[in-house]
Amino acid sequence: MKTYSILAVLLSTFLLTACNSEPSEKDIYNAFKSVVDRSNASMKALNSSIPEKDLLRIDYVKKVSCTEEANNVYNCIVDASISNMKQT
């Protein structure tokens, strides 16, 4: 499995806007899923026959901590893995 370097940027700091409290682990997962879904859509647009094993998938996302940076904007540290099944 290959882990993408984009993940390092996402792991170092992750800003989320929440309603009245810090984001839940599910909120953070959904933010990651949005990025992964857009990346996969871009890959499919470039190559419509790309196999599923070459697409990104979220292995796990775990919230470590969040601190409020501004009014309902949070800086979250997360532990996550995004990979694909392609072997190189």
* 12, pLDDT greater than 50: no
pLDDT average, residue stretch 15-40: 84
Helix (H/G/I), strand (E/B), else coil: 30? helix
Other C-beta atoms closer than 10 Å to the C-beta of 78 total 24
Helix (H/G/I), strand (E/B), else coil: 22? coil
Domain boundaries, the chain: 2-84
pTM above 0.75, yes or no: no
* 35, pLDDT greater than 50: yes
Q: What is the pLDDT of residues 41-70, one digit of tens each?
A: 999 999 999 998 899 999 999 999 999 988
Average pLDDT, the chain: 81
Q: How far is CA 75 from CA 9, 18, 44, 64, in A?
A: 13, 11, 31, 11
Q: Which amino acid is at 88?
A: T
* 9, pLDDT greater than 80: no
